[in-house]
């Protein structure tokens, strides 16, 4: 999908630079797009514990934590905090 190209290219560069582990670039890109749609589709569920802002900050952080190379990780608080 053409609209994913910038995201795919950014993830590819992160893998090339060593910031991300080797991974399925297109799958991660699609996952991030699905997360972006998540609030619109399931806000009725998420808004019980999260604001829109905490969802937008937390979801990508949660998913991208798995992609970041171990030597590039820093200690952070919970990925999804209300």
Predicted confidence (pLDDT) at residue 8 exceeds the cutoff of 60:
yes
Q: What is the pLDDT of residues 19-68, one digit of tens each?
A: 999 999 999 999 999 998 999 999 999 999 999 999 999 988 888 888 99
Predicted confidence (pLDDT) at residue 81 exceeds the cutoff of 50:
no
Q: What is the 3-state secondary structure (H, E, C) of 5-64?
A: HHHHHHHHHHHHHCCECCCCHHHHHHHHHHHHHHHHHHHHHHCCCCCHHHHHHHHHHHHH
Res. 72 pLDDT band, cuts 50 70 90: confident
Task: Give pLDDT, residue 80.
Answer: 44
């Amino acid at each position: 999908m053409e609209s994913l190209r910038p995201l795919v290219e950014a993830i590819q560069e992160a893998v090339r630079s060593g910031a991300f582990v080797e991974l399925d670039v297109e799958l991660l890109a699609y996952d991030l797009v699905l997360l972006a749609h998540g609030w619109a589709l399931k806000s009725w569920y998420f808004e019980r514990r999260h604001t829109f802002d905490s969802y937008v900050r937390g979801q990508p952080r949660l998913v991208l934590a798995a992609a970041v190379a171990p030597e590039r990780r820093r200690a952070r608080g919970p990925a999804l905090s209300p």
